[in-house]
Structure 1
Amino acid sequence: MSSMLRFGACALVLAFAIPAPASAKRWKFEIINKSAAHVTSFRTQEDGKWSKNWLEENVAPGETFDMDFGTDEGDCSVRTRIAFSDKTHVDANIDYCNADKITVRNSGIVWE
């Protein structure tokens, strides 16, 4: 095998062996509703304006819902507002680069 062909084969093997950087992970996470009411909306803020509701359906108390923003581009820390069926809401800056689970309570939001 020529040295050029061997180099190409080694480079190909290394390309698949090296893990992708953390930023290549799409922002996927679970919403866990530990509040006393249904979660009716999940909105993010950009340039001072709230987004559309990311939820397609309400999340009942005790339920978990899988979310996927479909991208990992943009700032990691995003102001997020979650509204409940009892007309209350909570909001916080969430670090989506490091959030796998977002737990929502009437008193606030935590993520891990």
Structure 2
Amino acid sequence: MIWNMLFHIDEIKKWSLVIGNINNFLNEIKKQPHHIYVIVNADAVAGIMEKNLRLQEVIHVLSTQGVYFEFCRIALRGHAIQEADLPIEIKVIPSGIKRIVELQMDGYAYIKP
């Protein structure tokens, strides 16, 4: 079995909850195969610029554990965040909502803390 998960975050205040959920899930499945995507849109994209959230460090660590972070280009533009300022572990996608639908159509479980 491969665990296919999609975490959706659109609120900056939910970052700690999402990261906690991902860590808890990874601890539960141990080393079982998994694909975990975190789709980030709306105000949540601004979290990457918040020093107190330490998201860049967390994203780096989780990306080494098979977690993929995808940020919505539309939301980044809306928050005046330059793609070049993002860590290399973050993939910029044209539309967060479209990507969520694609992953759900591919059978990914949708989680929105």
TM-score, with normalisation over the residues of structure 2? Answer: 0.22
Larger strand proportion of the pair:
1
Q: Point out the structure with max Rg over C-alpha.
A: 1
Structure of higher RCO (CA pairs closer than 8 Å, 6+ residues apart) = 2
TM-score, with normalisation over the residues of structure 1? Answer: 0.23
